[in-house]
Amino acid sequence: MRELSETEFHRYARHLILDEVGEEGQARLLAARVLILGAGGLGAPVSMYLAAAGVGTLVLVDDDTVDLTNLQRQIVHATESVGRAKVDSAVETLSRVNPGIRLRTHKVRLSEDNAAGLLAGCDVVVDGSDNFATRYALNDACLAAGIPLVAGALSRFEGQLTTIVPGEGRPCYRCLFPETPDPSLTPRCEEAGILGAVAGVIGTLQAVETLKLLLDLGEPLAGRLMLYDALSASMQEVRYKRRAECPSCKDSAGS
């Protein structure tokens, strides 16, 4: 186990006094590598909390630039970052949050062709994308590599979250959404709007799920979809099962 420095003992003191984390757990976090797809509404709070928690290497994947309309919810960016690449803006902020972690960036759009290379060496992947084509590609790549995937989505005053854990007959993202929903039923933020703080709620929950996976704590949201409704201040859970005919998970490495 890697020994913590004196500075790390102070920085992560509130983790160290948790019996479920302790020095060994913090060392595991510092040795971990997590890919965050998207440096936007979800990726912003995820990256902030994982950086603060001391996840040793964060890999940020995003090909977009910061727009003024992003700043209402994408808290990793600032006004002076408008026009800059999101990954560059995020790195600047995260380096201030925790200069002791490593930050890797890819200014690309994830696809079926490059997903495997981007995921190489990662312990957990967090999906903050906003379209089903990318979500399916990431799901399939994570299944093939046997890497857990924490997937979130947003719309207006609502959010959802689930965790895909390959293997042992557990379901994947295509088991939950076998076909791409009608676009009119799943409009993007620029079409339907979004209450900014809702992104913070779901992104923070994604960070919690990621830390649980890295520390092997509790029960992940595998086979469970958490639905958050900000207007009613309520959370519901929908359970889903693996589909025998699912083309993604039936032949995956962890099946």
Check 142, 172, 175, 189 and give the catalytic one: 189
User: How distant, in Å, are the alpha carbons of 4, 86, 196, 247 from that of 178?
Assistant: 45, 31, 29, 9
Cα–Cα nearest to 125, from 147, 101, 154, 102: 147
Residue 183 tokens, joined: 């676009």
CA–CA separation, 66 vs 82, rounded Å? 5
Q: Are 157 and 245 in contact (CB under 8 A)?
A: no
CA–CA separation, 195 vs 183, rounded Å? 20
Count of positions (residues) in the chain: 255
- The answer to whether 189 is a known catalytic residue is yes
Residue numbers annotated as active site: 189
